[in-house]
Amino acid sequence: MSDIRLRNVRKVYPGAAEATIPGLSLDIGAGELCVLVGPSGCGKSTLLRMVAGLEEVTDGEINIAGRQVNDLEPARRDISMVFQNYALYPHMTVHGNMAYGLKNRGMPKAEIAEKVGTAARMLGLADYLDRKPRQLSGGQRQRVAMGRAIVREPAAFLFDEPLSNLDAKLRVKTRVEIRDLQQRLGTTSIYVTHDQQEAMTLADTLVVMNAGRVEQIGPPMEIYARPASLFVAGFIGSPPMNVLAPGTGAALATAAGIERAAGHAVVGVRPEDLRAQPGGPLAVTVRVVERLGATANVHGVLDDGASEVIASLSGTDLPGPGEVMHLGVNPADLHLFDHASGQRLECAGA
Amino acid sequence: MVERRPLLLFIQHAVLIFGAAVFVFPIYLAFIASTHTAREVNSGLPLLPGGQMFDNYATVLGEGLSTAGAPPIGLMLMNSTIMALAITLGKLVISLLSSFAIVYFKFPFRVLAFWTIFITLMLPVEVRILPTYEVVAQLGMLNSYAGLSVPLIASATATFLFRQFFMTVPDELTEAARIDGAGPMKFFRDILVPLSRTNIAALFVILFIYGWNQYLWPLLVTTDESYYTIVMGIQRMVNAGEETPQWHLIMTTAILALVPPVVVILGMQRLFVRGLVEVEK
Ligand SMILES: Nc1ncnc2c1ncn2[C@@H]1O[C@H](COP(=O)(O)OP(=O)(O)OP(=O)(O)O)[C@@H](O)[C@H]1O
Ligand SMILES: [Mg+2]
């Protein structure tokens, strides 16, 4: 087991006017699964590829297992990577794909066969070793890519959106398998995704990125419970947090007994924290009701006519479109953010 | 889609059959001629096979046409094969390597290198024949296999095609190979070349036939009979001085000259048809 340490890592693509990553530090503990999440183009892949050695580091230092790797070739960094489109060698069999990296390291044939066999059994690929990638389903190909990564027993796994080519159901199943495998092997991992649900469920440590910067680092539940900024609040959680402008939010805050922020704070409240409350402080005209089974998302407009609100409600007596519904919230579940900077204001509702 | 109307269908087939016949008929005639005696052929070409087939082929393969001023057929067939194979393999190896360099490596004057190679497309051997002859003569390569093949190897057709193909190979594959510890040449050998198999097979056929059909260049650089190629040989038999051309034997030679290209096409066709069917979705 080994850890990964990034120190002021900077990346400026040649010819680019601005830094894609202006300077980022991150510590990933041994055996941890760290998920990088953020909107498209925020630099997640860039960061991962710098750790892999596929992209040059403009500035700063990358350590893997206590060794500075900035100038090492990818093959000598003791990492393996799973690509979004798997990047399997189309002309090699499943066995050949998994064995190639070992062969290049000069491992004896018998040992390769044993390691590939073990990995194949672990991934349920034992019957497919002689097939070519094109003779496999998408899910099987994904597992071959995983197999290629684990046979090498590297110090770290790097995943770049490894599930985005699978259908929704398989994605959930494979997500669990990846988590299980990673825990059993105890290999330090970095996992890139832009799916916040995948990020929440997989991560030991969640890193929310925005425009090349870290917005917040922490255990996923902590980030969910106490988002450090409006950006994080909007990105983590689905449906996203309701954000009420200072004037509109004031009623809610006052009703909750929070005087301090009432005038100038943006108030955030998660859809799942809202509940139906006759005479509650939020009067919402319902527009659409989405029934998801256990819960339903009620979309509506506040009586100021502008703010959209989503409430995630359970129960059966849901309002119909056009009806006015009153909602309330537990004061402890309010999030306050500074109007200008978007940063979290502490001691909300406490 | 083509509509299924009987008249249309008939016309389509008629056109196709006519086209095929136009191509096949001369070959058929050559074959017929190769099965008759000289007298039968010269007194109006028959349309049905005669009984002289084994005699003719035995004569051509065994004794050669010494009277017609050409070395034995076997030697000429071998010379042609050596020349065509040398040109084919030389062009394939050089163009695979040069397109690998152009696509995968950054080096000074890379663009210039590419354009230089590209420009040779405009300079086939016929255009630069005199200077090339001069160079080959100065290097003492007249009357040698090297003289026959090396000047024809230098051209860009295949480089250009491989470059286009390499550019379609996904970057992730290169990156996966780098992580798997494959250095550049290993990547080339283990991944790029096997992936190019279909292209290589198709080019092998095209280049082999290109080399096999060379006429002008071998004519210039060989004065020694033992380096004559089959295409030259046929030509010399036709212009055999005062004697009447021995058409039955010339046609036998022509039929024999068809065999190696046909073998190459059939052999490679299986490879590239399979390659096309197997192509990654
Ligand atoms: N090779 C490159 N040259 C120049 N700019 C690049 C290069 N690769 C990426 N970029 C830029 O760097 C930024 C970050 O790209 P990156 O691929 O890291 O985003 P990402 O977070 O992985 O996004 P996605 O979720 O869409 O994969 C983008 O603005 C992109 O345009
Ligand atoms: Mg990406």
Residue with CA at minimum distance from ligand 1 atom 25 = A40
Query: Closest Cα partner for A149 from A179, A126, A182?
Result: A182
Closest ligand (CA of A41)? 1
The pLDDT, as a whole number, for residue A260 is: 56
CA distances for B149 relative to A221, A261, B155, B207, B216, angstroms: 72, 87, 12, 12, 13
Task: Provide the phi-psi class of A75: left if phi over 0, else alpha when psi is between -120 and 50, else beta.
Answer: alpha
Would the CB of A46 count as within 6 Å of ligand 1?
A: yes
For residue range B272-281, list pLDDT tens digits in order. Answer: 776 555 554 3
Q: Two tokens at B24?
A: 């096949």
Its pTM stands at: 0.84
B80: pLDDT strictly greater than 60: yes
Higher pLDDT, B94 or B54: B94
Burial class (CB in 10 A: 0-12, 13-18, 19+), B250: buried
Instruction: Specify the length of chain A in residues.
Output: 350
* CATH code of the region A4-228: 3.40.50.300
Tokens matching residue A134: 């094109």
pLDDT of residue A255: 62
B23-39 average pLDDT score: 88
- The atom of ligand 1 lying closest to the CA of A42 is 21
Contact A279, A262 (CB under 8 A): no
Per-domain residue ranges of chain A: 4-228, 239-345
* b/e sequence A12-26, b meaning 16+ C-beta within 10 Å: eeeeeeebbbbebeb
Residues of B in contact with A74 (CB under 8 A): 175, 178-179
- Judged by average pLDDT, the poorest of A202-206, A310-314, B9-13, B239-243 is B239-243
pLDDT at A147: 95
**Nearest residue to A39 (alpha-carbon basis) of A299, A171, A235, A215:** A235
Predicted confidence at residue A207, as pLDDT, reads 96
Nearest of A240, A237, A207 to residue A42 by alpha carbon = A207
Q: What is the pLDDT of residues B34-43, one digit of tens each?
A: 888 878 877 7
**Residues A314 and A234: beta-carbon distance below 8 Å:** no
Looking at the predicted structure, is the pLDDT value of residue B213 above 90? yes
Ligand 2 ion: nearby residues, β-carbon < 5 Å: A 45
Give the residue with greater pLDDT, A335 vs B246: A335
Rounded Cα distance between A103 and A85, Å, is 23
Please state which CATH class domain A239-345 belongs to: mainly beta
Cα distances from A34 to residues A82, A205, B109, in angstroms, run 15, 5, 43
- Whether B154 has a pLDDT exceeding 60, the answer reads yes
Angstrom CA distances, B39 to B45, B69, B116, B236, B259, stand at 10, 21, 56, 21, 26
The winner for highest mean pLDDT among B64-73, B110-119, B212-221 is B212-221
User: Phi-psi bin for B232: left (phi > 0), alpha (psi -120 to 50), beta?
Assistant: alpha
How high is the pLDDT of residue A349? 44
Interface subset of B 182-221, CB within 8 angstroms of A: 182, 186, 190-191, 194-195, 197
Atom of ligand 1 nearest to the CA of A194: 25
Question: Highest mean pLDDT: which of A29-33, A323-327, B125-129, B246-250?
Answer: A29-33
Asked if A202 contacts A189 with a C-beta cutoff of 8 angstroms, the reply is: no
> Contacts of residue A90 in chain B, CB cutoff 8 Å?
195, 280
- pLDDT at A199 > cutoff 90: yes
Among B179, B191, B280, the residue with its CB nearest the CB of A80 is B179
Instruction: Give the chain B residue whose CA is nearest to the CA of A54.
Output: B175
Q: Is the pLDDT reported for residue A350 higher than 50?
A: no
Interchain contact, A89 vs B176, CB within 8 Å = yes
Tell whether the model's pLDDT for residue B67 goes beyond 70.
no
- CATH code reported for the domain at B66-244+265-277: 1.10.3720.10
Domain boundaries, chain B: 66-244+265-277
